[in-house]
């Protein structure tokens, strides 16, 4: 009996351990039983994940590091040649996206909070070439800078999504203290940006040639978009946007349209005070879906793979405050239902990606962040 006590103590300790400490878990969802397994760990607030053509992963860490992660979870040394980032508050190194022709040109794009001096910062986008060894960036160039820069450390956005024509959508936040400027087309605050790969305005943008407007703008009236993905069925951009207290939104930002912030919202201020004029106003768009209370949505992806047939066509959205993955069933441009999955992990989910193998990959937002792989249990 004495010999069994250490084993019993170990079993009890494992049973009591937080979910985040377990390398592999078997969890049930409405449509599938899944295995969630740790691919890599020891990442410092990982923010974004992109798959290289050979199956390895590029991962950004908010303090300002870009790493390559092998398929068996080995972390590279940080890639050299990144610019300094303003790693304060919600700022730092944010999204990464591969050029559609990356296999030939080795170009990638990074969004980050750029220090502009005197305590000010703004969301910028860097284009650079990753060398064949994967160790260094070269030919670096800033192709977009959010104007104006602002003090404070909140609401930088920012996701990067290429459209079907090879132009780039960039989501940028309202910088929190300047929320009324989300309605002003004369600046980049609280907007969806649409640029060519070289940084010029995309040719189909709605404000081209208009006095007093920024030609890079695609849509206005956004708060803090931290999730974005292209709908594979339609080619349209879908976004996940932070509200204040309540009012997190799924939107389909269409050219030249106004998505209401801060004039209309389904949320209230953190003090409980009313924001704006209500939930609806003529000339302003309604969200496709909203959450109240907030879940703090972050990375998102449309699931198109064959590993989870019942999830096909769903939008998967990570949640920070909610510590879950929201699976949104779609019917055309509508959300037909929601399943809140993987709460048992107890993790802030920063990014969600479908891998080339058809599995789902997640980034957990912490100083000991992990890459998780979700696969069918059978």
222 is catalytic: no
Share of the chain above pLDDT 70, in %: 94
Helix (H, G, I), strand (E, B) or coil at 115: strand
* Predicted pLDDT at 11: 40
Domains along the chain with CATH numbers: 30-376 (2.120.10.30)
> Across all residues in the chain, what is the average pLDDT?
94
In the predicted structure, residue 217 carries a pLDDT above the cut 80: yes
* Predicted pLDDT at 161: 98
* Predicted pLDDT at 306: 97
* Predicted pLDDT at 3: 40
pLDDT in tens, 339-358: 999 999 999 999 999 999 99
Residues 6+ apart with CB under 8 A from 183: 190, 220, 221, 258, 261, 262, 263
Annotated catalytic residue, options 150, 155, 194, 242: 155
pLDDT in tens, 46-59: 999 999 999 999 99
In the predicted structure, residue 130 carries a pLDDT above the cut 90: yes
In the predicted structure, residue 275 carries a pLDDT above the cut 90: yes
Dihedral angle sign, alpha carbons of residues 195, 199, 203, 208: positive
Place of tokens 């931290």: 226
Characterize 260-284 residue by residue with b for buried, 16 or more Cβ atoms within 10 angstroms of its Cβ, and e for exposed: bbbbbbbbbeeeeeebbeeeeeeeb
In the predicted structure, residue 21 carries a pLDDT above the cut 60: no
Q: How far apart are CA 345 and CA 332, in angstroms?
A: 31
Q: How far apart are CA 57 and CA 80, in angstroms?
A: 16
pLDDT in tens, 135-175: 999 999 999 999 999 999 999 999 999 999 999 999 999 99
């Amino acid at each position: 009996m004495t010999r069994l006590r250490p084993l019993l103590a170990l079993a009890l300790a494992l049973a009591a351990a937080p979910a985040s400490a377990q390398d592999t878990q078997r969890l049930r969802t409405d449509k599938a039983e899944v295995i969630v397994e740790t691919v890599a760990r020891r990442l410092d607030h990982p923010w974004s994940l992109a798959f290289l053509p050979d199956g390895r992963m590029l991962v950004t860490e908010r303090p300002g590091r870009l790493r390559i992660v092998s398929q068996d979870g080995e972390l590279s040394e940080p890639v050299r040649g990144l610019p300094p980032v303003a790693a304060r508050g919600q700022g730092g190194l944010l999204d990464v996206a591969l050029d559609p022709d990356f296999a030939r040109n080795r170009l990638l794009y990074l969004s980050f909070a750029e220090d502009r001096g005197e305590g000010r910062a703004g969301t910028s986008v860097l284009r650079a070439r990753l060398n064949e060894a994967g160790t260094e960036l070269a030919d670096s160039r800033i192709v977009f800078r959010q104007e104006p820069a602002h003090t404070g450390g909140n609401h930088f956005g920012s996701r990067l999504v290429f459209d079907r024509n090879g132009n780039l959508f960039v989501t940028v936040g309202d910088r929190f203290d300047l929320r009324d400027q989300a309605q002003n087309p004369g600046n980049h605050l609280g907007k969806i940006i649409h640029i060519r790969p070289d940084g010029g305005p995309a040719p189909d943008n709605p404000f081209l040639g208009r006095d007093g407007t920024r030609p890079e703008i695609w849509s206005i009236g956004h708060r803090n978009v931290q999730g974005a993905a292209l709908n594979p069925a339609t080619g349209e951009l879908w976004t996940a946007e932070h509200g204040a207290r309540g009012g997190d939104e799924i939107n389909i930002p269409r050219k030249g349209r106004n998505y209401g912030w801060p004039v209309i919202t389904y949320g209230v201020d953190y003090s409980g005070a009313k924001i704006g004029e209500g939930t609806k106003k003529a000339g302003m768009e309604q969200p496709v879906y909203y959450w109240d209370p907030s879940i703090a949505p972050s990375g998102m992806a449309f699931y198109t793979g064959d590993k989870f047939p019942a999830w096909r066509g769903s939008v998967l959205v990570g949640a920070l405050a909610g510590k879950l993955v929201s699976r949104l069933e779609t019917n055309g441009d509508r959300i037909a239902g929601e399943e809140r999955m993987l709460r048992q992990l107890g993790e802030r989910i920063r990014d969600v990606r479908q891998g080339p193998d058809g599995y789902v990959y997640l980034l957990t937002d912490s100083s000991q962040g992990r890459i998780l792989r979700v696969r069918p249990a059978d």
